[in-house]
Structure 1
Amino acid sequence: MDTVVGCLPATVWQRHSAGNGAKGPRYYDWAWIHTGTGSHRHLLIRRNRSTGELAFYLCRSPTEVPFSELVRVAGVRWSIEECFQAAKGQVGLDHYQVRHLTSWHRHITLAMLALAFLTAHCQGVHGRTSRCRR
């Protein structure tokens, strides 16, 4: 993949925000390469401006999607990861020993339900969720 990125001209890279983080907008350089014939398939590439670290996303959509929308959707990943980290720390999402899929499914469902309850409770008590997080 690094070979592909090395062949890209400097003009294909665009600076976009992947969404707001704890310290404001998260700006990266983004590029995309059309990979499918007759379909809406792309390889989306994110480059960290300071470290040069690369991340790759395979994108497929039923209709044509603007580049900025692909970047926005890729940026949503952070909020999902934050949710899982909160569930691990607050309600024990990662504390299980199961031998059957049904047991695992019950544990995960209960943990996520508990996190949803705590989030809703904090929203009602404080008007926002930031005070309830540690």
Structure 2
Amino acid sequence: MKKGDRSAGVARQYSGTAGRIENSQVGVFLAYASRYGQALVDRRLYLPESWTRDRARCARASIPEMVEFATKPKMARAMVEAALDAGVPCAYVLGDAVYGADSSLRRMLEAREQPYVLAVRGAHFMRRGGDRLFEETSPEELASEFEPDDWACHAAGEGAKGPRLYDWARIRRPWTSKGGFEHWLLVRRKRSTSGEKAYYLVFAPPGSSLAELAAVAGLRWAIEECFERAKDDLGLDHCEARSWHGWHR
């Protein structure tokens, strides 16, 4: 959270840390995860349009003249592209529903034959495909059509108390891709009485198993672990950066 109105990008906006609208700076972060651990590898400060329309205010915060408004998915797309262009090895790109809903991000990854597992909301607009190509549907509606035998228990990684177990199911999306890549709607269901569900759009190599996709989806929490470590060990939540350059150092 930031008081005042001079820190670069500060505005009353939704803060994931606070879980509500606060006067704050908001960043988009890129994390890298492997079997050896995880780390934050890139970041961009989000500038609301109220900032980019006021060039004098930008100048006072040392924001370069050429910096224009960009949505958070567009910023994420640029960081992912830069990492891939630099040769960073990547099995899957992951992201939450803000990024999964961005079709341009998905198209960029598909054009590069880069697998992804991207979360979407239950009401995300979809086409049913096949003989009912133009019929509108949603992940929530498609998941309601699963039979009991369609679900299987798989781990989404290790938690503090052992494997994080959920029920998983998937449905093949009828889109074709060169190289045999497959499109899926992946659904995760809590094993509690609530049966709460989460949904993912998947672009995967041919033959990818349900267990593999479940494990990949669970890796998205690596970025939360990165934030926790950065706050506890490096004081990320005590950030006092005010200027654009200070924030990006």
TM bracket, shorter-chain basis = 0.5 to 0.7
> Which amino acid in structure 2 is aligned with residue 41 of structure 1?
H
Conservation of the 8 A alpha-carbon contact between 2:168 and 2:210: no
1:26 aligned residue: 164
Quote the Cα distance in structure 2 between the aligned partners of 1:63 and 1:99: 47
1:12 aligned residue: 150
Please say which of residues 80-89 and 8-17 is displaced more in the overlay.
Answer: 80-89
Percent identity, aligned pairs only? 46
Offset at residue 56 of structure 1 (A): 1.2
2:203 to 42, 60, 66: 60
Q: Please give the secondary structure, in 1, of the residue aligned with 2:208.
A: coil
Q: Please give the secondary structure, in 2, of the residue aligned with 1:77.
A: helix
2:81 aligned with 1:81: no
> Which amino acid in structure 2 is aligned with residue 86 of structure 1?
R
Q: Note the alpha carbon deviations across 1:75-106, whole angstroms, 9 max, x for none.
A: 11223311212212331224244442x43332
Inter-CA distance 61–99: structure 2 relative to 1 (3 Å threshold)? farther
Quote the Cα distance in structure 2 between the aligned partners of 1:44 and 1:31: 6
2:189 aligned with 1:47: yes
Q: Whose relative contact order is higher, 1 or 2, with alpha carbons under 8 Å and at least 6 apart?
A: 2
> Which amino acid in structure 2 is aligned with residue 31 of structure 1?
A
Q: Note the alpha carbon deviations across 1:10-68, whole angstroms, 9 max, x for none.
A: 11111111121100111100011112422411111110010211111211124442221
Quote the Cα distance in structure 1 between the aligned partners of 2:153 and 2:191: 9
Conservation of the 8 A alpha-carbon contact between 2:156 and 2:164: yes
Cα RMSD (Å):
1.9
Structure having the larger proportion of residues in helix: 1
> Which amino acid in structure 2 is aligned with residue 12 of structure 1?
D
> Which amino acid in structure 2 is aligned with residue 75 of structure 1?
G
* TM-score (norm: length of structure 1): 0.67
Quote the Cα distance in structure 2 between the aligned partners of 1:34 and 1:65: 12
Structure having the larger proportion of residues in strand: 2
* TM-score (norm: length of structure 2): 0.38
Q: Please give the secondary structure, in 1, of the residue aligned with 2:211.
A: helix
Inter-CA distance 24–92: structure 2 relative to 1 (3 Å threshold)? same
2:237 aligned with 1:91: no
Conservation of the 8 A alpha-carbon contact between 2:190 and 2:197: yes
Inter-CA distance 58–103: structure 2 relative to 1 (3 Å threshold)? farther
2:176 aligned with 1:38: yes
In structure 1, runs of 5+ residues without a counterpart are 107-134
**Count of residues in correspondence between the two structures:** 105
In structure 2, runs of 5+ residues without a counterpart are 1-121, 123-139
